[in-house]
Amino acid sequence: MNDTVVPGRGDKGLLRNRVVEVENLTIRFGDFTAVDGVSFSVRKGEIFGFLGANGAGKTTTIRMLCGLLAPTSGVVRVGGLDFDDGGNGIKSIVGYMSQKFTLYDDLTVGENLDFAAGLRKLPAAAAEKRRAELFGMTGFDRPLTAKVSDLPGGIKQELALAAAMLHDPEIVFLDEPTSGVSPAARARFWGLIRRITAVGKTVIVTTHYMDEAEQCGRIALMRAGRIIALGSPDELKDSAFPGPMAEVDFQGSDPAAPIERLRKAPGLLALSPHGMRWHAAFSEGALMDAALSALPVSVRVRKIKPSLEDVFIRLAGGAQ
């Protein structure tokens, strides 16, 4: 399962557009290998997502790419720079927004942005111009004198993004940017991400929301420090489920016996519960039809397209 095909690596023409290149990246903390021989590259203007459970190594990978952690071994090149100077070169050309809300609650919007500008040594006029641009893009309409602690969660995230992008970085790293905000705010934030990439910037984002992963150009699926699959959402679905998939709804009848029979059906690739229903994937349509027709008549069956969640469960082993 680990030798999953990695689609999308063959297009050599895009080589010069690669703004992030990572080869065999490994980091160990004592005996624990948090990231284990990871290789991938990210193209300019792409939304590149890391999907995986907590502890899969997403955040650690991103932190190495931002110059926050030194890799134990492997090559990191971000915007043509490597880690040789302790990450300081990388830090000055990327923007990073961490999982936790990292602005200061007791300071105002303006003070937080001024601080970010000060750390980046931006001249006041440039910072002000850039702030206006970012506010225009994000639709941020709170006064500069508003205290950050008074802002709602989604607005805070937008402000944190503005602070991370004040120095106009070409590459923006977002580590679970929407954790803890409302669904509406999440949707708005992803609209923002698409607007950022529309002007040619690259966004690298981690998430464990499947619906967010669907919006990425490409996704690296991580488990236990390794990338177990990489590709666009459709490519991942196609490679994980080459055949058709059906949703099986037992409508209240006892599923135990039919599920047992279904498990032994020829051509079954995957069978997993989704709430009250089950998803069954087969290698071929004919084999699926045969297996499903053997189910009791009370069971309702319909063909579905696999979701990224199915892919994730199949490749990352679900809860195991």
Choices 114-122, 180-188, 194-202, 249-257 (CB under 8 A): range interacting with other proteins: 114-122
To which H or E segment does residue 77 belong?
Answer: strand 73-78
Binding to other proteins by CB under 8 A, coded x per residue (else -) over 262-281, reads: --------------------
| 257 binding other proteins? (CB under 8 A) | no
* Residues whose CB is less than 8 angstroms from the CB of residue 319 and which lie 6 or more positions away in sequence, other chains included: none
| 16 binding other proteins? (CB under 8 A) | no
Task: Give me the half-sphere count of Cα atoms (radius 13 Å) on the Cβ side of residue 156.
Answer: 24
Shorter beta-carbon distance to other proteins: residue 146 or 187: 146
The strand order across the sheet containing 268-274 reads 268-274, 277-282, 245-249, 300-304
User: What's the min distance (Å) between Cβ of 34 and other proteins?
Assistant: 14
Q: End-to-end distance of the chain based on CA atoms, in angstroms?
A: 15
Distances (CA, A) of 66 to 81, 92, 151, 219, 237: 11, 9, 27, 18, 30
By CB under 8 A, the residues from 197 to 236 that bind other proteins are none
Number of residues that bind other proteins (CB under 8 A): 34
| 73 binding other proteins? (CB under 8 A) | no
By CB under 8 A, the residues from 160 to 179 that bind other proteins are 163-164
Binding to other proteins by CB under 8 A, coded x per residue (else -) over 118-137, reads: xxxx----------------
Report the alpha-carbon distance of residue 281 to residue 67 in Å, rounded.
42
| 102 binding other proteins? (CB under 8 A) | yes
User: What's the min distance (Å) between Cβ of 70 and other proteins?
Assistant: 4
| 115 binding other proteins? (CB under 8 A) | yes
Q: Identify how many contiguous H helices and E strands the chain contains and give both numbers.
A: 11, 13
Report the alpha-carbon distance of residue 226 to residue 222 in Å, rounded.
5
The contact set with other proteins (CB under 8 A) reads 66-70, 83, 85-88, 91-92, 96, 98-107, 111, 114-121, 163-164
